[in-house]
Amino acid sequence: MAVHKKYNALGRGLDALISTESVRTQGSSTISEIPLDQIEPNADQPRSLFDSEALQELANSIREIGIIQPITLRQIAENRFQIIAGERRWRASQLAGKTTIPAYIRTIKDENVMEMALVENIQREDLNAIEIALAYEHLLENTGMTQEKVSERVGKSRTAITNYLRLLKLPAQVQMSLQKKEIDMGHARALLALDSPSLQLKVFKEILKNGWSVRKVEEMVQHLKNGEDIESGKKKIAAKAQLPETYSQARDRLAGVLHTKVAVTCTSKGKGKISIPFNNEQDFEKLMEILDQLKQEQ
């Protein structure tokens, strides 16, 4: 199939970047412009939720400069294609008012589609933990692969895969909250240390109510495993969290200098730890710049 020369990328025709004469990729794949209405999503796509705001932002980018990364399809009938990877780009292209999209056309067996979609999404787009767990479960139940084989195919350790699968044993409320990213995987893994679903739910509600960190959840779980109840555990956690006034003042001063929250923990003997959280690489770099400036001023 030939690639249409009307497709623009970064203001230039695609033919300015690559040859447009029946471009063929490695293996049994071709790249072509495919009409959007000839494409359908993959029912086994591991991603089930798409952030509407992020999707609109991508649509705006596509409207401005076009698709930079082709999606990956397989042909299922004459003029009909199914998405292997790139459903988000396909949806955004529709929002952008596009009629076609550049795509790799792969020759692939049905049983490999879910595997490729999972690998592509893990590497490119952050699936939530439950989506990943369900995708691993699908691979194990529908392809006959062992955990070792899945580990090899997706480039993750067997332990990591096991940890994801264990999440599916949590109560539905916890799984839904994890999927919505109201809690993270660290919280969920801490809850899994409790054998009782009712206790898991009680601690889960405390997490949402009090905004507990993973460390606090781990502490509560340990108290419960030692035979204490929720209220007793909360009192002990609160007592441990109290800092001497001098430590509190120093923490606040440091937070003011770094322009971020600072956590300080301290034992009764004065031994402790300072934690400086950051949300992304950009935040980390800003912290390092501030620390470098302080060092130069000494």
> Active-site residue numbers?
87
Q: Residue 78, by phi and psi: left (phi above 0), alpha (psi -120 to 50) or beta?
A: beta
Q: Which two tokens stand for residue 170?
A: 């949590």
d(CA 16, CA 253) in angstroms, rounded, equals 56
86 phi, psi to nearest 5 deg: 115, 20
d(CA 155, CA 160) in angstroms, rounded, equals 10
Q: List the one residue out of 210, 207, 215, 203 whose CA is nearest residue 264.
A: 215
Cα–chain center distance at 253: 34
Burial of 246 (0-12, 13-18, 19+ CB in 10 A): exposed
d(CA 33, CA 14) in angstroms, rounded, equals 11
Cβ atoms within 10 Å of 52's Cβ, excluding its own: 9
In the numeric block, the tokens 């004459």 are attached to: 78
